[in-house]
Structure 1
Amino acid sequence: MRRRVVRVALAAALVSLVLVAVPLAIGIRISFLADERAELERSALAAAVQVGPDFTAGDPVELPRPATDGQLAVYDRTLRLRAGTGPQSADDTTRAGLAGHVVQGSYAGSLVVAVPVASSEHVIGVVRASSPMSAVWTRIVLAWLAVLGGAVVALLIGIAVATWQARRLSAPLESLARTADAVTAGDLSARANPTGIAEVDALANAQNAMVDRLSRILDHARRFATDAAHQLRTPLAGLRLTLETADTDPAADPRLAVADALRQTDSLQNTVQDVLELSRLPADGPRGALVPIAALFAETEHRWHGLLADTGRRLVLTVEPPVGERLVPLATCRQILDVLIDNAHTHGQGTVRVTALDVLDTTAVDVEDEGSLTTPAPALFHRGTHIGLSLARTLTESAGGRLTLADPSPTRFRLLLPND
């Protein structure tokens, strides 16, 4: 990633430098040559001013010192060198100057400018100014070297900026990759941190959301496995007890034992269906069929009466008239009551009483036994130590209700359900 960003940045910098440096180099060459010709023309004009009309008759000519490292000379109309320094035989540029206008050209590796000398509107000679091209090219090359040096400096700065930018861009992605590797290794607590780069943060947020959802799914799966094991324990125990009784009692009627086992199997099947249905329970409410509380209590008594009677305990279910026909979610309430009655059966004493009553226009179900509790109420619903009660509270809250310990001695749990 870093190398790729650096390569892209360097390619862009090189293209930019070429696009700037090449036209600049051409411009420097044209500008330096034009400046040199302009300087030669000024020198020739200055010399032409000092040439008198009688120079052809032998009047001496005093030429100024050339402004450049070149030569300055005066030729008459016969193109004979009369003063200064220059070739004895006039070149083509000097001949063209006799036409009466300034002429620029080159000769023998030198820049040449010819300026006519006029007297009484007649051309009487030509001033020739020249400068070696090598001197001009020396200045051009020096200027090109300066441009090249600036380009190298700019390129080095570009490399430094590209490296820094590549590190800045790749570091968040590398951190994101490390976070993904940690999640892959099983650390579902790993989260990507914000970087300040919008695109990378969007990717990090998407990854965090994915990990959050994955964590919830896995946690839900673990909870489902634990809840299923807990809820299936009681019907399996009842089925086993029925079969063991039929196996050990010679006087037992096999047909009655089979019928009882079938009823226990139906109960087990209902529990499995409830657990599967509740495992897909949304956060905003219960699923499944609604049944009257009286029907729910009748089914509950049928399933639990035998189990409690086998341990010498009674089960008393009471439905007060105002709430008997109120509808409640079957799967949710059946599992909640199973948890509460199983808790009374396992940890309580004496008669187990289940009462449905109206409390301020709210349906309340009390599950009471004759035992007592010393565990603080908040700890009773902690999933780590009380899986069943924790599940019962979760199911109650999913249905929009509340489950509380109403009284520790004798033990009484109260389930409050909203009226539909």
Structure 2
Amino acid sequence: MRQRVVRVALVAASVALVLLAIPLAVVIRTSFFADERGELERDAMATAIRVSPDFTAGDPVELPPGRSEGQIGLYDTTLRLRAGTGPGTADPATRRALAGTVVQQSADNELVSAVPVSQDERVIGVVRAAVTTRSVWNRTLAAWAALLTTALIALGVAILVARRQARALTAPLEALSHTSQAIAAGDLSARAASCAIPEIDQVATAHNLMVHQLTQLLQHERDFTANASHQLRTPLTGLQLGLDAALTTPGTDLRAAVEAALDQTRHLDNTIDEVLQLAQAQPVNGTGASLRLVGEVLQRAERRWHGPLAKDGRRLTLVFDRAAAALPVPGRTTDQILDILLDNAHRHGSGTVTVSLRDLGSALALDVADEGKPTLDAAAVFVRGATTGPGSGIGLALARELASVAGARIALSGTAPTRFTLLLPQSGHA
């Protein structure tokens, strides 16, 4: 592209110089010949004034010296050369001047100016001044050479300026191309820089916006995959273990095992709905079937997590009063957040896990506490990917996202021991 810009500028400069130089060359030629004719006429007139009328009686005539490249001569009425230089017999211009008019003529490679010499309103002779056209052409060619030199210098300057401007115009586009190549190679952090050229900056801004949106979309897809994997792994494991236990344990109540499996599958279905809802960034509808009594939500969570915690020799305790347990909350979202907090206590905590419910009037507070201490500070604990244990660092970040979509809030409210608090606004107090 840089070469194209230079070529375009060079063609434009060349056309402009040609359109300027050709008329100027014509003007120079016309002006030089016109000036030379004017000089010849002035020389002839100045000589005619100094000619004495007595030359007709045979007196000698002294003419002023003419220019070195020209001729000046005095002719009498018989058309013979009486003084100066010139052809021996008068030429046609000199003959016409005997009629009493100034005559200018170009003939035989000469410029001629003939001026009559008068006495008592009678022509007594003619002064002829002449110069070869070669001398005029020499000066014209010298002027044309100077004009051509000037044009070439101007063209050279135009080329230098065009190359500089081409670099200034193409460098941002080349940088934008390199940025696009880096993005295509996988560097989604690459961004086009500003160059102070409005049109190119507009393209760079649109490019950066497009890359930002694509990056967000890709991150959204990655988060969705990670969220789905994180949330489905635990209930699937529980479902598998429950079914295996029902098959391998003699005397197991198969109906109870099937009912438990169905309950797990319903929980899996709710989990999928919640992850999809989070991926679409849709707010949770706080009315209708999505609401469930918080007491039921806690009891379902106890049934899901009592076994895994007991297997490790740990207890799960619920603390709430009946009045608070009868209040409605977004059931599926609260289920998912409780699963994340209980899974976090199971993986990273120690001792007894206590789930407490408090009625704050405008909101319900669900506390999930264990007897361990957090290894991350409050600012980093909800950052996606931040973990010091075997986990992936997704759970708590996902819990905060789920809470945000539901209009709730979650925070690390205690560190000795660890306690997370989920605040669920009540209807009319969100």
Contact 1:278 1:287 in 2 (8 A): no
> Structure 1 unaligned runs (5+)?
none
Paired position in structure 1 for 2:390: none
Contact 1:93 1:106 in 2 (8 A): no
When structure 1 is superposed on structure 2, of 140-149 and 199-208 the one drifting more is 199-208
Alignment of 1:20-419 (within 5 A): 20-67=20-67, 69-281=69-281, 286-290=283-287, 294-302=292-300, 304-309=302-307, 311-312=309-310, 313-314=315-316, 316=318, 318=320, 321=323, 324-325=326-327, 328-346=329-347, 347-350=349-352, 352-358=354-360, 361-378=361-378, 379-383=380-384, 384-385=386-387, 386-418=393-425, 419=429
When structure 1 is superposed on structure 2, of 296-305 and 128-137 the one drifting more is 296-305
Count of aligned residue pairs for this structure pair? 414
Instruction: Indicate the percent of aligned positions where both proteins have the same amino acid.
Output: 48
Contact 1:29 1:140 in 2 (8 A): yes
Matched residue of 1:54: which SS?
helix
Instruction: Give 1:343 shift.
Output: 2.5
Contact 1:91 1:107 in 2 (8 A): no
Structure 1 distance, partners of 2:54, 2:114, is 20
> Structure 2 unaligned runs (5+)?
388-392
Instruction: Give 1:365 shift.
Output: 2.2
Distance 1:57 1:229, change over 3 A: same
Structure 2 distance, partners of 1:52, 1:329, is 131
Structure 2 distance, partners of 1:270, 1:400, is 18
Render the CA deviation track for 1:377-420: whole Å, top value 9, x for unaligned.
Answer: 42433432132112212333455543222233454321124433
When structure 1 is superposed on structure 2, of 370-379 and 125-134 the one drifting more is 370-379
- One-letter code of the match for 1:188? L
Structure 2 distance, partners of 1:52, 1:194, is 86
Render the CA deviation track for 1:91-150: whole Å, top value 9, x for unaligned.
Answer: 222222122221111121000111111111122221111000000000000010011111
Contact 2:292 2:331 in 1 (8 A): no
Instruction: Give 1:331 shift.
Output: 4.8
Matched residue of 1:380: which SS?
coil
Distance 1:78 1:332, change over 3 A: farther
When structure 1 is superposed on structure 2, of 361-370 and 127-136 the one drifting more is 361-370
Structure 2 distance, partners of 1:17, 1:190, is 45
Query: Does the alignment pair 1:14 with 2:21?
Result: no
Contact 2:291 2:330 in 1 (8 A): no
Matched residue of 2:53: which SS?
coil
TM-score, L = length of structure 1: 0.90
Instruction: Give 1:235 shift.
Output: 1.6
Q: Cα RMSD between the aligned structures?
A: 2.5
Distance 1:320 1:208, change over 3 A: farther
Contact 2:79 2:90 in 1 (8 A): yes
Structure 2 distance, partners of 1:253, 1:322, is 34
Instruction: Give 1:325 shift.
Output: 4.4
Contact 1:288 1:331 in 2 (8 A): no
- One-letter code of the match for 1:47? T
Structure 2 distance, partners of 1:93, 1:319, is 135
- One-letter code of the match for 2:357? T
Matched residue of 2:187: which SS?
coil
TM-score, L = length of structure 2: 0.88
- One-letter code of the match for 2:359? L
Distance 1:55 1:417, change over 3 A: farther
- One-letter code of the match for 1:192? A
Contact 2:79 2:89 in 1 (8 A): yes
Distance 1:86 1:320, change over 3 A: farther
Structure 2 distance, partners of 1:57, 1:248, is 160
Instruction: Give 1:240 shift.
Output: 1.0
Contact 1:40 1:113 in 2 (8 A): yes
Contact 1:293 1:323 in 2 (8 A): no
Instruction: Give 1:294 shift.
Output: 4.7
Structure 2 distance, partners of 1:207, 1:334, is 41
- One-letter code of the match for 2:125? G
Distance 1:88 1:242, change over 3 A: same
